[in-house]
Structure 1
């Protein structure tokens, strides 16, 4: 069964996910963050790049209080080309899969797997293959910009869940999507908006890929 890939973005109005220093907590408000946890609960895996782990030390778990009492925790997946995830990281425990392009070594109790790579980074097909081998059918990508760009460029994003806060961070802020190397406007990936609704002061927009 094909894997459904959803990209979740929590940004300023101008598409920035952090200050130049990396400060990002919290761009969006409590209601948007709660909906983000519901999205986690609706997916079998949550995927981030190692830069997100190093900057934020996220748990990548579903935390919804009583609402999430019976929810199974998704598999946590970290893309870590050079295996820089520290054993002290919150994700360096069971129910975590670290995919790397280098020789594996233990990282806490996480599972570490070397996959095929290009230019020193795991290739998207190998990442999808590793998840398929574990019977994962849905994955939620939560960061960062390089990971988002890689999956978009590979044409692997099926849905966008975009939470926009009513703030502006400017060009100095860190972009939610890194460079796509588009030669012309007609090559831009296209999406169809499904809905847009306020969540507190934030706006939650949902899109599906047009293929």
Structure 2
């Protein structure tokens, strides 16, 4: 196990959905929960999302706390083919906080010229999350907050890399056609499922933030 502590942040409906079937997701949780999520960002060395999240939501991924943190977290995108738009909020704000593209070996010269760091963490097809975590550790990062999407979350869970879950739940039901918070894990029996121990529950208005730590098996 690496020396990097990884928290997976989920913001879902009661039935574990992050969006409607058409991708509509703003906003499932309340503004108070989103403010609490900014506190979580400020407490981590880096924020990590998949490129699908960047393409769908164009997030800034900074910690917008009051007051602002003394140092913004590093913003990392798992982007196998370097598809992050050069005009995205991330790429146009490299002066605010560092931006890293973790690619699978794709050429990303224009992103590098625009100020992003490039980590090659894959075999040419997809980003290897273990390689990404090793590189993060080598760069001195000790805590990472993984914010989505569902396939990236599943990759980290499958590889046993997540230490803690920070799960925001809003009091609504979306139903089975909604998009799940975590993608397929390839389980064939329940004994193989990762177990989690609840360690804290926080009411945030009508929302709830549950914190879990992984049970070592």
**TM-score, normalising length from structure 1?**
0.95
Secondary structure at the aligned position of 1:68 is classed as coil
Aligned to 2:102: 99
Aligned to 1:114: 120
Superposition deviation, residue 185 in structure 1? 0.6
Counterparts of 1:179 and 1:55, CA distance in 2: 20
Q: Report matched runs for 1:154-169 at 5 Å.
A: 154-169=159-174
Counterparts of 1:70 and 1:115, CA distance in 2: 29
Aligned to 1:181: 186
Aligned to 1:17: 18
Residue 7 in structure 1 maps to residue 12 in structure 2:
no
Structure 1 residues 69 and 194, CA, compared in 2 at 3 Å: closer, same or farther? same
Counterparts of 1:10 and 1:59, CA distance in 2: 17
Superposition deviation, residue 198 in structure 1? 1.3
Q: Report matched runs for 1:9-158 at 5 Å.
A: 9-64=10-65, 67-92=66-91, 93-94=93-94, 95-105=98-108, 106-107=110-111, 108-117=114-123, 120-158=125-163
Q: Deviations over 1:150-193 (max 9, x none)?
A: 00000000000000001111111111000000010111000000
Counterparts of 1:50 and 1:81, CA distance in 2: 8
Do the aligned residues in 1 keep the contact of 2:46 with 2:74 (CA within 8 Å)?
A: yes
Please list every run of at least 4 consecutive aligned residues from structure 1 whose deviation after the TM superposition is greater than 4 angstroms: none
Superposition deviation, residue 82 in structure 1? 1.4
Superposition deviation, residue 23 in structure 1? 1.2
CA RMSD across the alignment: 1.3
Counterparts of 2:67 and 2:189, CA distance in 1: 45
Counterparts of 2:69 and 2:129, CA distance in 1: 32
Do the aligned residues in 2 keep the contact of 1:62 with 1:68 (CA within 8 Å)?
A: no
> Please, which runs of 5 or more residues in structure 1 have no aligned partner?
none
Total equivalences in the alignment: 208
> Please, which runs of 5 or more residues in structure 2 have no aligned partner?
none
Counterparts of 1:116 and 1:11, CA distance in 2: 30
Counterparts of 1:2 and 1:70, CA distance in 2: 24
Q: Deviations over 1:75-113 (max 9, x none)?
A: 000000111111011111420000111332222321122
